[in-house]
Amino acid sequence: MEHLIASDDLIGRVRSYNPRSDIALIRAAYDYALAAHEGQFRRSGEPYITHPVAVAALLAEQRLDDATIITALLHDTLEDTSATYREIAETFGAEIAELVEGVTKLTNLQLTSTETKQAENFRKLFMAMSRDLRVILVKLFDRLHNMRTIRSLPAEKQAQKARETMDIYAPLAGRMGMQWMRDEIEDLSFQVLNPKGRESILRRFVKLQGDAGDVVGRIKDDIERELTAEAIAAEVVGRAKRPYSIWRKMEQKDQSFSRLSDIYGFRVITDSQMDCYRALGAIHRRWRAVPTRFKDYISQPKQNGYRSLHTTVLGRDGKRVEVQIRTQEMHEVAEAGVAAHWAYRDGERTENPFAVDPASWIAGLTEHFEASADDDEFFEAVKLEMYTDKVFCFTPKGDVVKLPKGATPLDFAFAIHTRIGQACAGAKVDGRRVPLWTQLKNGQSVEIMTAEAQTPQATWIDIAVTGKAKSAIRRAMRADNRSRFVKLGRELARVAFEHVDKKASDKALITASRHLGFDDVEEMLSRLGSGELAARKVVDTLYPELASKRGEEIDARRAVLGIEPGQSWVRGTCCRPVPGERIVGITMPGKGVEVHAIDCPRLAQFDDQLDRWIDLHWHSGPHAAVNTVGFDVTLSNDAGVLGRICTLIGEQQANISDLVFADRKPDFYRLLVYVDLRDAEHLHRVMTALEADSDVAAITRYREVVRTPVPAQ
């Protein structure tokens, strides 16, 4: 069982790096938490107070300020005890009360629950981070301690916590620069989620050590000898990578453990930046460097302040060895990440030149997706920006642009400016013309070519990687689609009104939009054009007497004869039969009857289930124009063609229910037109009228792909 760290012990740890700390306030917080959690126990049976004190001690190891240490001591009091925000504010001050409340709100966010809106809660997480980053620091160390002591929880709860840690907190710790924490909590989660996989990695490590001996020690000695020969003072530390890191490499590279070579990592800590590069030269002279595995984060630091030289060389027996080279100051930031901003030494805030200002860090992290009003878009952007490595590319002028790994020239264009991204007509990488979907690599020079008439294309969504680019493309597409849908909706409305010998005047459309509850006419027309609103409904709103006349037609619900009373039926979407065509029914257990044309290819799937076949035929008489049929139409891409096609369909007393652009080329485009028809004769008239138009290159009746048959129960 974990023992309780005494208040004097905790205070001693804080005083070791901050002799000027407010001892009385820390002791008061310790005593307050001790009293508040009196009688509470963890699942392991230990007094609950051991947890917040342990979290405070972990933060003290990072040399954090008094406010963060006290927040750790109190972080569970608002949620689990009778303590109140006002009481904490009066006793410890408003700053600490706000921090404690912030941690409490984060604890209550169910970031991976299926019962809550994950995207919405993720936005709340980032809002809390933007107010004060120390909130998430306390939460991260809270999660670290919980993962270290997770074995006392029920198995189901362990799995839920481990998944949440792997998906949310581990990437967040890495993004904040605390890679050591990411490695540890990922490995702890791996131990819960895949214990057999972890054990197999450890067993292979034991066998490897038995076969090869102390590989780490020998490589460490080799590096130290090379540095000594060059008169470079440095500390060399080596270790085997954690089991989860190795497992992930095996998964990514689809390799077995025996073929995986880069399982050892070494760190070289020098006295100066110059020595970093000297050490790199010494290592590269002694061992052959692996191409594409060198990164200079000293000249191009990460956003969280991380600086280091990374290289991979072929060491003993041809094994790959990863080496990180940095100064002591760089190492401190690499260990603490953004938390280095609050670190103390000898009673003073550490003046580390590489520690970043948290306000600028969080602003830089969120600037690309703050404008997104949609929670799902925000969540997508966060995942893209948070959980990927960076690549550094250059503009023709030599300016550096940081992008996520896998980014394309399109992302580069939007990173420079939204206006340049929207007008992007092509790109050159290192002077060569490349497709917009090309993945950029570190150090490449990218030139974006623009055109005034260029606008974002729908296919760009699949090409772009960054949240900023995707959000900007979606905004532009929404604006462009709205304009196009409004234009198409106006044409559909005109045809629908002429169908009943009426005129779609501005006044008529304004009146209809008001009665249908739309804010303005354009919103109604946009819904018409996108297929969300039927033109007939607009007409019926103004002329209900015309709708009543249609009641003389056969009720669409009783259009098929042969269906048993009370039995439901639907037209098969694969063939969409219309009155006048020979039909047959197939019973679908629990779903009624599916009506198919007698020549529907899907019927072959039921040849051995004849007991499910029903002989059906259509009711004789005039049918309502409610039988939707799809046409696959190829049109010339000229001005006014689409409007004329809509008019042709309207002249045949048919209503367009939906339009889908299937393919668009400079000279032709292909679209699927869904039309509401009465019967087979009506279908023939519409197809003949369209086929006769000179701008229609081809027209066929659209039949959907045959689906997998539904088995009989």
Q: 343 or 365, which is more confident?
A: 343
Residue 100 has pLDDT above 60, yes or no: yes
Q: What is the pLDDT of residues 73-90, one digit of tens each?
A: 999 998 888 899 999 999
Residue 112 has pLDDT above 70, yes or no: no
pLDDT for 58 equals: 94
pLDDT for 709 equals: 40
Residue 245 has pLDDT above 70, yes or no: yes
Contact in structure between 412 and 427 (CB atoms under 8 Å): yes
User: Among this protein's residues, is 31 annotated catalytic?
Assistant: no
Residue 113 has pLDDT above 60, yes or no: no
pLDDT for 251 equals: 65
pLDDT for 146 equals: 93
Residue 406 has pLDDT above 90, yes or no: no
Scanning 194-261, the segments in alpha helix (DSSP H) are: 195-212, 215-229, 243-253
Q: What angle do CA 447, 452, 453 make, to 5 degrees?
A: 120
Which among 22, 46, 79, 522 is annotated as catalytic? 79
pLDDT for 277 equals: 95
Q: What is the pLDDT of residues 418-477, one digit of tens each?
A: 889 989 999 999 888 888 888 888 778 899 999 887 888 877 887 888 878 887 887 787
pLDDT for 124 equals: 64
Give me the mean pLDDT over the 587-602 stretch. 87
Where does the pLDDT of residue 389 fall: very low under 50, low under 70, confident under 90, or very high at 90 and above?
A: low
Give the predicted TM-score (pTM) of the model.
0.56
Which among 2, 80, 480, 679 is annotated as catalytic? 80
pLDDT for 257 equals: 55
Where does the pLDDT of residue 61 fall: very low under 50, low under 70, confident under 90, or very high at 90 and above?
A: very high
Residue 219 has pLDDT above 90, yes or no: no
In percent, how much of the chain has pLDDT > 90?
28
Residue ranges and CATH numbers for the domains of the chain are 7-193 (1.10.3210.10), 197-349 (3.30.460.10), 475-551 (no CATH), 552-618 (no CATH), 627-701 (3.30.70.260)
Where does the pLDDT of residue 606 fall: very low under 50, low under 70, confident under 90, or very high at 90 and above?
A: confident
Residue 402 has pLDDT above 80, yes or no: no
Give me the mean pLDDT over the 290-300 stretch. 85
pLDDT for 318 equals: 66
Query: Which residues are paired to 569 by β-bridges?
Result: 593
pLDDT for 271 equals: 94
Residue 391 has which token pair?
């690549």
pLDDT for 111 equals: 58
Non-local (6+) Cβ contacts of 321 within 8 A are: 219, 262, 264, 265, 266, 287, 312, 313, 314, 315
Of residues 184, 160, 172, 165, the one with CA closest to residue 136 = 172
DSSP 363-412: HHHHTTTTT---HHHHHHHHHHHHSS-EEEEE-TT--EEEEETT--HHHH
Where does the pLDDT of residue 119 fall: very low under 50, low under 70, confident under 90, or very high at 90 and above?
A: low
In percent, how much of the chain has pLDDT > 70?
86
Residue 548 has pLDDT above 60, yes or no: no
Distance CA 212, CA 209 (A): 5
Q: 55 or 468, which is more confident?
A: 55
Give me the mean pLDDT over the 542-549 stretch. 67
pLDDT for 537 equals: 82
Give me the mean pLDDT over the 65-75 stretch. 94
Q: 115 or 466, which is more confident?
A: 466
Contact in structure between 277 and 266 (CB atoms under 8 Å): no
Arithmetic mean of pLDDT over the chain? 82
Distances 599 to 612, 683, 703 between C-alpha atoms, Å: 17, 17, 12
Of residues 457, 492, 427, the one with CA closest to residue 665 = 457
Residue 259 has pLDDT above 60, yes or no: no
Give me the mean pLDDT over the 127-134 stretch. 73
User: Among this protein's residues, is 332 annotated catalytic?
Assistant: no
Residue 258 has pLDDT above 70, yes or no: no
Give me the mean pLDDT over the 104-119 stretch. 60
pLDDT for 385 equals: 54
